[in-house]
Homo-oligomer: A and B are copies of this chain.
Amino acid sequence: MATRHIISIGDFDRDGIDQLLDHAEQIDNRKYDAGALGGRILAVLFFEPSTRTRMSFESAMARLGGTSLSVGSVDACSMAKGETLADTIRVVSGYADAIVIRHPKEGAARLAAEFSTVPVINAGDGAGQHPSQTLLDLYTIRQSMPIDGIDVALIGDLRYGRTAHSLASALSLYNARLHTISPKGLELPSNLVMDLREKGMEITEHDDIREIIGLVDVLYVTRIQRERFPDSASYFNVATSYRITPELLADAKKHLIVLHPLPRVDEIDPRVDDSPHARYFEQSKNGVPVRMAMLMRVLQ
């Protein structure tokens, strides 16, 4: 696999991440060439819908003067009908200078990279990786505080939420401490916890966010999906006790920031939106400069 693919946040060491985020910051300060990727083509190949991620990559490409060829989930399925992923990737390689892939199956992005003649960026493959999300999460934290040694609370569905997994891994490079709060059955996978502890990360499980709200610097909220619960009463119960409210945040550190990969449903009270703690819309917006830096990295 060529070094220019971006498949997993684990492909980066700390220096690699810092360099990319520094570049994103430069871009954010409008220090970039708006024609840098003029005439270059990005194939956006999504085998499952993710309009937000797709738009963010296409926006990034357009800001740099490039063109995106978008292949939505419907088209992608008709394209792949009876065809192997390997063949689809080889064909698309012939039309573009880079490929962004999203796929329901873990490992699909790495497989794509093997057959592609152009750089591949993973935009999420099943329970696998979603490196651009992790990079924009880190970028958003860094806008408010140095990442080193901070206390980060992960709250919500930590079992299926791949964004939480990738972020936790990346934070281990920054000596951050992790606090986890999740409904029974939706805890952070134990092998990931073991893995992170081996890397020296301090991880504490808590029953209630209120125990530690005064202590943490970052509150990373993930969606709790209704489908994970046997009935709507149990969902409602959990959704209520995990909901972030202004009342809860009254006890928070002044500089605490609230992040969420979006879309949110019931996890964050809309009254939080106007609080200085709320950073989730900035976080979403930060996807553009971060993905611009990623595109420059693979295409230049």
Contact status of A82 and B41, CB under 8 A, knowing A69-B62, A91-B52, A95-B55: no
Q: Which chain B residues border A41 with CB–CB below 8 Å?
A: 59, 62-63
Annotate A19-50 by CB proximity to B: 1 below 8 A, 0 otherwise. 00000000000000010001101010000010
Distance in angstroms between the alpha carbons of A90 and B52 in the assembled complex: 12
User: Which residues of A from 57 to 111 have beta carbons under 8 Å from B?
Assistant: 58-59, 62-63, 65, 67, 69-72, 74-76, 78-79, 81-84, 86-88, 90-96
Distance in angstroms between the alpha carbons of A76 and B51 in the assembled complex: 7
Classify chain A's interface size: 35 or more
Task: Find the B residue at minimum CB distance from A283.
Answer: B94
User: Which residues of A from 247 to 277 have beta carbons under 8 Å from B?
Assistant: 262-265, 270
**Interface SS of chain A:** helix
Tell me whether B281 and A90 are in contact (CB under 8 A): yes
Q: Which chain B residues border A76 with CB–CB below 8 Å?
A: 51
Distance in angstroms between the alpha carbons of A69 and B56 in the assembled complex: 9
- Identify which of B39, B55, B79, B92 contacts A92 (C-beta below 8 A): B55
A-B contact pairs, 21 of them (CB 8 A): A34-B38, A39-B62, A39-B65, A41-B62, A51-B75, A51-B76, A51-B78, A51-B79, A55-B95, A70-B70, A72-B72, A79-B263, A81-B263, A83-B262, A84-B270, A87-B263, A91-B262, A91-B281, A91-B284, A93-B285, A94-B288
Give 12 new A-B contacts, CB below 8 A, not counting A49-B78, A81-B263, A83-B264.
A41-B63, A55-B69, A55-B71, A59-B96, A82-B263, A82-B265, A87-B263, A91-B263, A91-B284, A94-B288, A95-B285, A95-B287
